[in-house]
Amino acid sequence: MSSDVKQEKRFGVKRWIVLALIGVGIYVSFMGPTFLRPITPVVVLPPEPTGLAIGGFEITNTILATLLADFVLLLVAFSAWRFIKKGSLVPKGFYNAFEAIIEFLWNSVEGSAGAKWGKRIFPVVATIFLIVFTANMVKLAPGFESIGQLKEMHAEGTAYEAKHLFDLGSLGVYTLDKGLPIEVAAAHGEEEAAHDEEMAVEEHGSTTVCHACEVVPFLRGSATDLNFPFALAFIAVFMTQVFGVWALGMSYFEKFFPIKQVIHGGIFGGINFAVGLLEIILEFAKILSFGFRLFGNIFAGALLLSIIGVLTAVGLPAGLYLFEIFFGAIQAYVFFLLATVFISGALESHH
């Protein structure tokens, strides 16, 4: 009886916390000061600089997000390694979930390539899955694509005036005021932007504040940058050729260059030559398919979250976040599964 009372009491507390958060969200998003309200996002395809550099190499916001995903993945791997070193045979909690994921991936690889080649293929395709999955999960953390540095908007669109919130030491913290929109024309070029920044410096002293502002986020989802999915796609297709040569030797290239069939096959030799050309084109098509599939889905998801967050800032975005978790896992698995299937197919003779 007492346990039932405690459960009802706990449920009641949680319910009031949720209702209070919904109320705060409604007030901030629709009735509170305009500088607290979400603004329409600026859609930018290329990665943007963060102001950081390593040896002259500029660090963009997508590279920084990828490094963060790498760090999280290495931390998880180190934590799992320490758990194994302790001699624990029964994983619990997080380790149990991690083991289930690895076991599921191994069963998929073993079913496609067999145990012998599965042991060789698994480290490559599992690493691809884990980095894509981790990058897709990390980008859902608060602050991604919303916290960054202010700059003058140079392209055509709607910008906003900056509002000073407070100072962290010598660092000023600002936000964009939705109640003060500024329409930027297409002719608003570099000279106008430089003039606006000079006026801001004169107005605010040593602190440079833009006039028609947009946010350049410090962190942006890795897969929203074409370089990330296409780099993984190139690695997957390249390793397909590596494993093909490993399994079949130099005869693997006969499916691309059927020299013997061309010389001795008559009209069928010409057909085989045409088929070989199609096989070469197909390998490049795999890179395009891999890259655009992952990029398109993740970029569209990030854009959908931003737009829905502006239109209905309370309630619906939470459901979309759950959908993005599921969708990010599915995209990582699809990338992993296609890489596994292509590599497994390269292990067999094309005859």
pLDDT of residue 182: 86
The neighbouring-strand residues paired with 164 are: 174
Q: How many Cβ atoms are within 10 Å of 335's Cβ, its own excluded?
A: 25
Cα–Cα distance, 196 to 193 (Å, whole number): 5
Cα–Cα distance, 192 to 169 (Å, whole number): 31
**pLDDT digits 0-9 by tens, 185-197:** 765 555 555 555 5
Average pLDDT of every residue of the chain: 84
Confidence of residue 12 (pLDDT cuts 50, 70, 90): confident
pLDDT of residue 330: 94
Cα–Cα distance, 248 to 284 (Å, whole number): 21
Using the predicted structure, report yes or no on whether residue 208 has a pLDDT greater than 90: no
What share of the chain in percent tops pLDDT 70? 88
pLDDT of residue 201: 43
pLDDT of residue 339: 95
pLDDT of residue 122: 96
Confidence of residue 131 (pLDDT cuts 50, 70, 90): very high
Confidence of residue 207 (pLDDT cuts 50, 70, 90): very low
Cα–Cα distance, 60 to 186 (Å, whole number): 25
Using the predicted structure, report yes or no on whether residue 198 has a pLDDT greater than 60: no
**pLDDT digits 0-9 by tens, 242-265:** 999 999 888 888 888 877 776 666
pLDDT of residue 153: 83
Q: How many Cβ atoms are within 10 Å of 304's Cβ, its own excluded?
A: 14
Using the predicted structure, report yes or no on whether residue 92 has a pLDDT greater than 90: no
Cα–Cα distance, 324 to 139 (Å, whole number): 10
pLDDT of residue 2: 52
**pLDDT digits 0-9 by tens, 279-293:** 899 999 999 999 999
**pLDDT digits 0-9 by tens, 312-351:** 878 788 888 888 899 999 999 999 999 999 999 998 875 5
Confidence of residue 126 (pLDDT cuts 50, 70, 90): very high
pLDDT of residue 11: 58
The answer to whether residues 125 and 336 touch, using CB atoms and an 8 Å cutoff, is: yes
Mapping DSSP onto H, E and C, the string for the chain reads CHHHHHHHHHHHHHHHHHHHHHHHHHHHHHHCCHHHCCCCCCCCCCCCEEEEEECCEEEEHHHHHHHHHHHHHHHHHHHHHHHHHCCCCCCCCHHHHHHHHHHHHHHHHHHHHHHHHHHHHHHHHHHHHHHHHHHHHHCCCCCCCCCEEEEECCCCEEEEEEEEEEEECCEEEEEEEEEEEEEECCCCCHHHHHHHHHHHHHHHCCCCCCCCEEEEECCCCHHHCCHHHHHHHHHHHHHHHHHHHHHHHHHHHHHCCCHHHHHHCCHHHHHHHHHHHHHHHHHHHHHHHHHHHHHHHHHHHHHHHHHHHHHCCCCHHHHHHHHHHHHHHHHHHHHHHHHHHHHHHHCCCCC
Mean pLDDT of the region 190-216: 60
